[in-house]
Amino acid sequence: MIRPQDNHLQKLIRLLTTAAANAALYHPEHRQVLRLNKQALNELQQLFSIHSNITLKVIDEQLIFANKPVAKNLAIDRLLESLDRNGISHLQIEPGVYAEELLGLINILSKTPDKQIEIKSSENIHFGQIEVRYKNSGQIAGLGLDEIAEHEADRFMDIYQTVRNKQKLEMTGINEIVNGFVNAFNSQSDAFMAIAPLRSMDEYTYTHSTNICMLNLAQAKVLGIEGQLLNDIGIAAMLHDVGKMFISPDILSKSGQLDEEEWKIMQQHPRLGAEYLLNTPGVPRLAVVTAFEHHMRFDNAGYPKTTRLWTQHICSYMTAISDTYDAMRTHRAYEESLNIDQIISIMLDLAGTKLHPQLTYSFLQVLSELDKKNAPSNYTSS
Ligand SMILES: [Fe+2]
Ligand SMILES: [Fe+2]
Q: How many angstroms does the Cα of residue 86 sit away from the middle of ligand 2?
A: 44
Kindly identify the ligand whose nearest atom is closest to the C-alpha of 270.
1
Q: Which ligand ends up closest to the CA of 291? A: 1
323: CA distance to ligand 2 center in Å? Answer: 5
As to burial, measured by CB atoms within 10 angstroms (0-12 exposed, 13-18 middle, 19+ buried), residue 283 is buried
Separation of CA 251 and ligand 2 centre (Å): 15
Instruction: Quote the ligand 2 centre to 166 CA distance (angstroms).
Output: 20
Instruction: Compute how many other C-beta atoms are within 10 angstroms of the C-beta atom of residue 350.
Output: 18
Rounded alpha-carbon distances, angstroms, from residue 169 to 65, 238, 262, 331: 43, 13, 27, 29
pLDDT averaged per 10 residues in sequence order, the chain, 382 residues: 71 92 84 93 92 82 79 87 82 92 92 72 78 26 40 57 64 75 63 36 58 87 89 91 83 82 95 89 91 96 89 96 85 59 90 96 82 46 30
CA of 338 to the centre of ligand 1 (A): 21
Backbone angles phi, psi at 169, to 5 degrees: -75, 140
Model pLDDT, residue 192: 37
54-59: strand order across its sheet = 68-69, 62-65, 54-59, 88-93, 125-129
- The Cα–Cα gap between 117 and 6 comes to 30
Q: How far is the CA of 276 from the centre of ligand 1 (A)?
A: 14
Integer angstrom CA distances of residue 64 from 6, 42, 68, 89, 365: 11, 21, 5, 11, 43
Of 341, 335, 336, the C-alpha closest to 367 is 341
How many whole angstroms separate alpha carbon 299 and alpha carbon 296?
8
DSSP H/E element including 144: none
Give the pLDDT confidence score for residue 285 in this predicted structure. Answer: 93
State in Å: Cα 156 to ligand 2 middle. Answer: 16
- Distance between Cα 237 and ligand 2 center (Å): 8
Q: What is the pTM of this model?
A: 0.55
**Cα 325 to averaged position of ligand 2 atoms, centre (Å):** 10
Whether the bond into 69 is cis, omega within 30 of 0: no
Amino acid at 147: E
CATH code of the region 145-378: 1.10.3210.10
Smallest CA-to-CA distance from 151 within 9, 18, 4, 16 is with 18
Q: Which ligand is nearest to the CA of 237?
A: 2
User: Using alpha carbons only, how large is the chain's radius of gyration in Å?
Assistant: 23
With contact defined as beta carbons under 8 Å apart, do 310 and 199 qualify?
no
Q: What pLDDT does 379 receive?
A: 37
Q: 269 C-alpha to center of ligand 1: Å?
A: 7
CA of 242 to the centre of ligand 1 (A): 8
Looking at the CA of 205, name the nearest ligand.
Answer: 2
- In DSSP terms, which residues pair with 257 in a beta bridge? none
Between CA 213 and CA 149 the distance in angstroms is 12
User: How many angstroms does the Cα of residue 193 sit away from the middle of ligand 2?
Assistant: 22
- Residue range(s) in the chain whose domain bears CATH number 1.10.3210.10: 145-378
Distance between Cα 202 and ligand 1 center (Å):
17
Spatial contact of 298 and 357, defined as CB atoms under 8 Å apart: yes
d(CA 250, CA 262): 10
> CB–CB of 169/279 below 8 Å?
no
Q: What length is written for the chain?
A: 382
The Cα–Cα gap between 360 and 51 comes to: 55
What residues does 58 pair with on adjacent strands?
63
Distance in Å, CA 294 to ligand 1 centroid: 6
Q: 366: CA distance to ligand 1 center in Å?
A: 23
3-state SS assignment for residue 68: strand
CA distance 60 to 64: 10
- What's the per-residue H, E or C state across 270-307? HHHHHHHHHCCCCCCHHHHHHHHHCCCCCCCCCCCCCC
**Residues around the ion ligand 1 (C-beta < 5 A):** 241
CA distance 183 to 231: 10
Q: Which residues does residue 59 pair with via DSSP β-bridges, in sequence order?
A: 62
Which ligand sits nearest to residue 332's alpha carbon? 2
Strands (E) in the chain, as ranges, are: 54-59, 62-65, 68-69, 88-93, 125-129
Query: What was the pLDDT predicted at 350?
Result: 96
User: Of 187, 184, 198, which is closest to residue 380 (Cα–Cα)?
Assistant: 198
- Coil, strand or helix at 40: helix
Closest by CA position to 155, among listed 241, 78, 147? 147
Ligand nearest the Cα atom of residue 238: 2
